Amino acid sequence: MYYDLPDLRLVAAIADSGSLTRAAGRVHLAPSSASHRLTQLEAALGVPLFARHHRGLTPTAAGESLLRHARQVFAQLEQMHADLAPYASGLNSQVTVFANTNAINCFLPEDLGDFLREQPRIRVSLEEQPSPAIIQAVAAGQVEIGVVAAERSLNGLETQPYRRDRLVFVVPAGHPLAGRAAVDFADVLDQPFVCLHAGSAIHTFMMNAAAQLGRSLDVRIQVRSFNAVCRMVAAGVGIGMVPNSSIPVVDALETVKINDPWAPRDLQLCVRARAALSPAAAALFDHLAGKGRLALTAVA
């Protein structure tokens, strides 16, 4: 079955206006031509798309179904136009980056901002993913640059150090854990947690870490940012686990070190091969690696 855009636009116009005549005017067709197109489309599909009555036309169930798909097609076309339009005004290329929650929330905004100001003709597509998924995507060639927590197996990828951070617990002032220097993750699983939203990389990591202990998290509330986690914890909603670099200065908040070996978060840049990167991706990789060297030197 072949569908052309004028037919789909006509179907949408009829559904929106409820009139074949008004719809024909919207899509710049004569009413007779519009009627002929609709009749041919219905005949090809073998089902009526509109019910005819004295008030005009209303979509049938089949018409509603076609209309949903047609609107998705129009949205995809608009997105395609939006993606391609910058090339007409001098865009050189686009670089795809996958990064974990820690990197996206704590380090990449400033570093990518500096890069994009220096490179106005490059666009960056940034997506949050858990570190194992990022490694797989980079190894498979689905994404050019990944930013991950240090992993034992990086599938032979080339890496560069990026940032050093550490996951810690945040608890309200006066909480029984507040006086502890450090605790194990297993020891706090009976506490209510404030977590990032389901689907975030760190939420997935926390759930998996609890599952490996044969336990589950008591998630009292989910929020959209580390700052929101800390504010909820300070308000006494529960405890949280966040990167140390993300913690705001709040009097009602205290931190507790996590003993588990996964708590240190040495973030790394990873690529299949630096030499095989596109010029834009290579420029971004080198920029982020340079930012990482400066930051790690300052920490040392």
Write the pLDDT tens digit of every residue in 159-175.
999 999 999 999 999 99
Residues 108 and 151 grouped into a single domain: yes
Domain boundary among 55, 88, 121: 88
User: Which string of b and e fits 197-228 if b means at least 16 CB within 10 Å?
Assistant: eeebbbbbbbeebbeeeeeebebeebbeebeb
- pLDDT grade for 78, boundaries at 50, 70 and 90: confident
- pLDDT grade for 264, boundaries at 50, 70 and 90: very high
Domain boundary among 88, 113, 134: 88
Quote the pLDDT of residue 288. Answer: 98
Residues 109 and 193 grouped into a single domain: no
Mean pLDDT within 222-248? 96
Number of domains in the chain: 3
Whole-angstrom distance, CA of residue 7 vs CA of residue 92: 35
Residues 156 and 290 grouped into a single domain: yes
pLDDT exceeds 60 at position 10:
yes
- pLDDT grade for 215, boundaries at 50, 70 and 90: very high
Write the pLDDT tens digit of every residue in 55-66.
899 999 999 999
Give 284's Cβ-side CA count (13 Å radius): 30
What is the extent of the structural domain holding 34? 5-88
Quote the pLDDT of residue 225. Answer: 94
- For 40-52, the DSSP string reads HHHHHHTS-SEEE
Tokens of 248: 């705001």
- pLDDT grade for 3, boundaries at 50, 70 and 90: confident
Residues 176 and 136 grouped into a single domain: no
Helix 61-88 and helix 5-17, axial crossing angle in degrees, nearest 10:
120
Q: Cβ distance 55 to 70 under 8 Å?
A: no
Quote the pLDDT of residue 170. Answer: 98
Mean pLDDT within 179-184? 95
Quote the pLDDT of residue 90. Answer: 54
pTM reported for the whole predicted model: 0.69
Higher pLDDT, 80 or 171: 171
Domain boundary among 66, 88, 110: 88
Residues 150 and 203 grouped into a single domain: no
Q: Cβ distance 218 to 293 under 8 Å?
A: no
Quote the pLDDT of residue 92. Answer: 65
Residues 16 and 77 grouped into a single domain: yes
Mean pLDDT within 249-259? 92
pLDDT exceeds 70 at position 91:
no
Residues 186 and 259 grouped into a single domain: yes
CATH of the domain at 211: 3.40.190.10
Mean pLDDT within 78-103? 79
Mean pLDDT within 22-31? 93
Whole-angstrom distance, CA of residue 110 vs CA of residue 102: 13
Residues 178 and 134 grouped into a single domain: no
Quote the pLDDT of residue 220. Answer: 97
Residues 110 and 156 grouped into a single domain: yes
- pLDDT grade for 81, boundaries at 50, 70 and 90: confident
How many helices and strands in the chain, by DSSP H and E? Answer: 10, 12
Quote the pLDDT of residue 80. Answer: 83
Residues 222 and 257 grouped into a single domain: yes
CATH of the domain at 78: 1.10.10.10
Residues 215 and 271 grouped into a single domain: no
Tokens of 187: 């020891």
Average model confidence (pLDDT) for the chain?
Answer: 92
Write the pLDDT tens digit of every residue in 182-211.
999 999 999 999 999 988 889 999 999 999
Whole-angstrom distance, CA of residue 166 vs CA of residue 54: 70
- pLDDT grade for 89, boundaries at 50, 70 and 90: low
Residues 175 and 260 grouped into a single domain: yes
Q: Residue 183: which residues within 8 A CB-CB, separation 6 or more?
A: 169, 177, 256, 257, 258, 259
